[in-house]
Structure 1
Amino acid sequence: MSDALSECGAAAVTFEDDADQPIYEPDVGETPLWTATRLTALFDAETRSEDVTKMLANVMDEVPHFKVEAVEDKDWEREWMANFQPIQFGERLWICPSWHQPPAPEAVNILLDPGLAFGTGTHATTALCLNWLDTADLTGKYVIDYGCGSGILAIAAALLGAEKVIAVDTDPQALEATRANAKRNGVEIEAYLPGECPDEPCDLLLANILAGPLQTLAPRFANLCKPAADIVLSGILQTQADAVSDSYGAWFAMQAATQKEDWIRLSGQRHVK
């Protein structure tokens, strides 16, 4: 259907859930669709819907039910920018898009625009980690942000006083985004693919990824943490929290979970031998 709409001249085709059926963590290599999937195709205003349906009928056995809506002509860049406002986390930490003046210039302000890598502060998992960082004393600490995305947590740690910050991600594009965002915020962050990450144990390890990878990486994270080091884990659904916490129990004293919406943050301290 998507290919057929593109052949008919659609400028963009979007897949959306049409039955409130969340897909949180697909298996590696899979791109699942919802049981009920809604497609939205965007056409030039001059396109006639009758012409599109005729073309669809030529390339498909059956044209599904559809409706046509006229989209108001707007300055879409400004509309998009208006959706992103400065957000406060805790008492001293703000995320500010570049087109806004920081509401609290004396606060710790992270200048961050929405981009190709995950992490702008709007998602509950990121907010959970930022709220934890806001309460922490990071002065002189060595911090690893594992699964860095945009670098938001690594940058926050650096601005909050960490002496050394390393960012790790499997996506080279995320590493580029992290380096660019770190430069914009005037902090120094080393960014690595997982196989290149130094083995030097850290004082704090942050990992906002998904439950499956978090469980798999538990031994690796234990080796990357000093005795008494803190670990902060997110990207975990409420139903997954106990299993993830149990995965870390051999190495960390895990604390009670903190919840925001459907998402959980786990934290703990590395056992002292």
Structure 2
Amino acid sequence: MNYSELTLRLSPDYTEILMAELAEIGFDSFVETDEGLTAYIPESDFDETALQELIAKYSDQTAIAYEVISLEKRNWNAEWEREYEPIEVAGQVQVRASFHALDARFRYDIIINPKMSFGTGHHETTAMMLEQQLGLNFAGKKVLDVGSGTGILAILAAKMGAQDVLAFDIEEWAVENARENAELNDCPQITVFQGTIDDINPPTHLLDSTPTTFDIVLANINRNVLLREIPIYTDLLAPEGYLIVSGFYEHDAPDIEQKATESGLNMTRKMSNREWTSLAFQKL
């Protein structure tokens, strides 16, 4: 099967939105880039008119440039395996695919087969989130993973001793992938559902309607979502609970910090890597 490759250059604030929209018109795999997004679709399913209508829908909100090329037939699994190398985080975590060998030097071994979703640990924001997690005590804690993608953050939380980890994503394929990865890593304490933060209280995905609070909330999402939802995360946090966020550039950090402070949080740690930033807060 031949594939068409779409390269989008746009603001990072819109990459997740465009990814979701592109999935609706048949694109089935995505790679986040420094310039925006690369997406793939079987050549027979590609509809340029639908793509142009989608670009026009967002053209008044952000500048978007795109290019489409045809890729020759190839063994995509073999290509992916050659490109996907294990990563190390702070000398304690190794993130690898199932075809890589276990390395006993690392305290935490995480197996991620990413399929279509992000969160292999290769992106700076994911790696920083993992490193931030290493600085917290997860033993016996209740954890919420917002926009879980592959489930990598939830899996580390579980491996660090979390008692109950709730994860969600808006994309069905991401939810399926996170569930598969949780099972692959033997993490039965992880529950993954498809939905948004609005589905937490009342917890429509659970039989128990008791309001839910969490000791730790993890959110590796874009700036606009964080600015809108940080007050909600704060309400969901137990007293002295922690919020760890990433998914935004360093120049956006003051806005994120201000929103967190206004919501009753105190910043405890800031990390930056190649202009990307992660912040950790504690509820006052």
TM-score, with normalisation over the residues of structure 1? 0.76
- State the distance in 2 between where 1:36 and 1:165 align: 39
Instruction: Deviation per CA, 1:19-58: give whole Å up to 9, x if none.
Output: xx553122956646876644322356xxxxxxxxxxxxxx
Q: Which runs of 5+ in 1 are unaligned?
A: 1-9, 45-73
- State the distance in 2 between where 1:184 and 1:190 align: 14
Please report how far the alpha carbon of residue 75 of structure 1 lies from its aligned counterpart in structure 2 after TM superposition. 5.5
TM-score, with normalisation over the residues of structure 2? 0.74
- State the distance in 2 between where 1:106 and 1:121 align: 15
**Counterparts of 1:1-273 in structure 2 under 5 Å?**
11-16=2-7, 22-26=10-14, 31=55, 37-43=66-72, 77-104=77-104, 107-188=107-188, 189-192=190-193, 193-194=195-196, 195-197=198-200, 198=203, 199-250=211-262, 251-255=264-268, 257-271=270-284
Aligned partners of 1:144 and 1:166 also within 8 Å: yes
Please report how far the alpha carbon of residue 104 of structure 1 lies from its aligned counterpart in structure 2 after TM superposition. 2.2
Identity fraction in percent: 27
Instruction: Deviation per CA, 1:140-168: give whole Å up to 9, x if none.
Output: 11111111011110011001111111102
The size of the alignment, in residue pairs, is 230
Please report how far the alpha carbon of residue 87 of structure 1 lies from its aligned counterpart in structure 2 after TM superposition. 1.1
- State the distance in 2 between where 1:87 and 1:148 align: 19
- State the distance in 2 between where 1:146 and 1:260 align: 21
Deviation larger for 129-138 or 181-190: 129-138
Instruction: Deviation per CA, 1:216-252: give whole Å up to 9, x if none.
Output: 0022101110111011000011121111111111210
Root-mean-square deviation over aligned CA pairs: 2.4
AA in 2 matched with 1:252: L
SS in 2 for 1:257: strand
Larger radius of gyration: 1
- State the distance in 1 between where 2:269 and 2:144 align: 22
Quickly say closer, same or farther: Cα 1:229–1:160, change in 2 above 3 A. Answer: same
SS in 2 for 1:175: helix
- State the distance in 2 between where 1:83 and 1:236 align: 25
Task: Give the structure with the higher percent strand.
Answer: 2
Quickly say closer, same or farther: Cα 1:35–1:219, change in 2 above 3 A. Answer: closer
Q: Which runs of 5+ in 2 are unaligned?
A: 22-53, 204-210
Greater RCO structure (CA 8 Å; 6+ sep): 2
- State the distance in 1 between where 2:218 and 2:144 align: 6
Please report how far the alpha carbon of residue 267 of structure 1 lies from its aligned counterpart in structure 2 after TM superposition. 1.0
Instruction: Deviation per CA, 1:107-160: give whole Å up to 9, x if none.
Output: 211111121122110111100101111232211111111110111100110011
